[in-house]
């Protein structure tokens, strides 16, 4: 087994609030291995985007990391000063956001932006950088002849491919992709995900793929972490987890996702009752217990921890 490229230990993020504090991430630990694609799945408010922001050091104030450690390849990165953090962002960890236009400057050509990123992070001269940029575009199936085109001249899917080229350009060890295909049409989504998968395999880059879509998880990831109300509900190998989900929330999430493969008008979709609790009104014990069909009395008062078998649920606790 290879060493993890990223290691997060007992991460807790807190937002001070006039009535106390909100805790969007509470005691999360996980590893990302070299070259793997790990999916973070959960519904809105689960804390998946916040996890990504914490890793890259972009939590909006007044939020802060209250406890826990984040290690990138044996270097602790959760307490870096601004300069050191900037050296890591873009160079060793890069981001792909939902809206490609947030990553691209509309006033500059894509080639220009690629070259700039490469020059900032890599010890190369201008010619070399341009050559690398061209190669990067080619890799994401964009005609290098469009080096001097502006972002608005591309379609949504192509823009997201440019962003992927940009994210890969400095040869990072980790890419955090936050809902990279949510704004795209299904047909384009499939292409972009395939591309992301292929390139990360080739470059040996690890990916944290943040999504709300179990389908995207199933198609793309090696491992998956299911988040609920700021905590990990279940972690495991994607194939295993989808085949034998254990946590009632994971099971509900899978069962309530409609499938193109089967079902008809008479199919009653499985539904999880209720909604994700708000951060200022988290239930006691297991946060999922009010929505859980199998909840025990115990669940309302005691919070389950993530066990060795990768599930945080009293149904699977020993004894």
Structural contact between residues 206 and 4, judged by C-beta atoms closer than 8 angstroms: no
SS3 28: strand
> What minimum distance in Å lies between the beta carbon of 154 and another protein?
15
**In the complex with another protein, which residue's Cβ is closer, 60 or 318?**
60
> What minimum distance in Å lies between the beta carbon of 179 and another protein?
13
Residue 259, phi then psi, degrees to nearest 5 = -115, 140
H-helix or E-strand spanning residue 17: strand 4-17
**In the complex with another protein, which residue's Cβ is closer, 81 or 268?**
268
In the complex, the residues that contact another protein under the rule CB under 8 A are 18, 43-44, 185-187, 189-190, 212-219, 238-239, 242-245, 251-265, 267-273, 275-276
**In the complex with another protein, which residue's Cβ is closer, 210 or 253?**
253
> What minimum distance in Å lies between the beta carbon of 257 and another protein?
5
DSSP code at position 223: E
Is the torsion defined by CA of 50, 32, 157, 140 positive or negative?
A: positive
**In the complex with another protein, which residue's Cβ is closer, 148 or 155?**
155
Structural contact between residues 220 and 193, judged by C-beta atoms closer than 8 angstroms: yes
- Count Cβ atoms within 10 A of the Cβ of residue 77 and give its class: 0-12 exposed, 13-18 middle, 19 or more buried: buried
Q: Rounded to an integer, what distance in angstroms lies between the CA atom of residue 261 and that of residue 250?
A: 20
Question: Cα 169 to the chain's mean position, in Å?
Answer: 19
Q: Rounded to an integer, what distance in angstroms lies between the CA atom of residue 237 and that of residue 106?
A: 39
> What minimum distance in Å lies between the beta carbon of 120 and another protein?
31
**In the complex with another protein, which residue's Cβ is closer, 97 or 288?**
288
SS3 292: coil
**In the complex with another protein, which residue's Cβ is closer, 6 or 233?**
233
> What minimum distance in Å lies between the beta carbon of 5 and another protein?
25
Residues 6+ apart with CB under 8 A from 265: none
**In the complex with another protein, which residue's Cβ is closer, 204 or 258?**
258
Q: Rounded to an integer, what distance in angstroms lies between the CA atom of residue 259 and that of residue 137?
A: 34
> What minimum distance in Å lies between the beta carbon of 233 and another protein?
13
> What minimum distance in Å lies between the beta carbon of 76 and another protein?
34
């Amino acid at each position: 087994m290879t060493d993890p490229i990223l290691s997060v230990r007992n991460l807790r993020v807190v937002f001070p609030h006039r009535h106390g504090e909100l805790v969007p991430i509470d005691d999360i630990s996980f590893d990302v291995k070299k070259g793997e694609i790990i999916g973070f799945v959960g519904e809105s408010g689960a804390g998946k985007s916040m996890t990504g922001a914490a890793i890259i050091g972009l939590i909006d104030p007044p939020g802060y990391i209250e406890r826990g450690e984040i290690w990138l390849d044996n270097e602790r990165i959760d307490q870096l000063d601004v300069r050191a953090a900037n050296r890591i962002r873009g160079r060793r960890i890069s981001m792909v956001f939902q809206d490609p236009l947030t990553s691209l400057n509309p006033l500059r050509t894509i080639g220009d932006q690629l070259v700039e990123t490469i020059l900032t992070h890599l010890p190369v001269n201008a010619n070399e950088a341009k050559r690398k940029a061209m190669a990067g575009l080619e890799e994401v199936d964009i005609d290098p002849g469009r080096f001097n085109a502006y972002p608005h001249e591309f379609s949504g899917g192509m823009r997201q491919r440019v962003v992927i080229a940009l994210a890969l350009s400095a040869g990072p060890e980790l890419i955090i992709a936050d809902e990279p295909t949510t704004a795209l049409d299904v047909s384009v989504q499939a292409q972009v995900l395939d591309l992301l998968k292929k390139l990360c395999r080739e470059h040996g880059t690890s990916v944290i793929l943040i999504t709300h879509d179990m389908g995207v998880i199933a198609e793309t990831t090696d491992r998956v972490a299911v988040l609920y109300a700021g905590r990990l509900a279940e972690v495991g190998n994607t194939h295993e987890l989808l085949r034998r989900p254990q946590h009632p929330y994971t099971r509900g999430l899978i069962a309530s996702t409609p499938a193109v493969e089967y079902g008809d008008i008479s199919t009653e979709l499985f539904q999880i009752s209720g909604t994700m609790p708000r951060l200022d009104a988290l239930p006691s014990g297991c946060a999922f217990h009010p929505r859980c069909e199998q909840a025990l009395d115990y669940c309302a008062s005691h919070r389950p921890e993530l066990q060795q078998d990768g599930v945080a649920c009293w149904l699977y606790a020993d004894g």
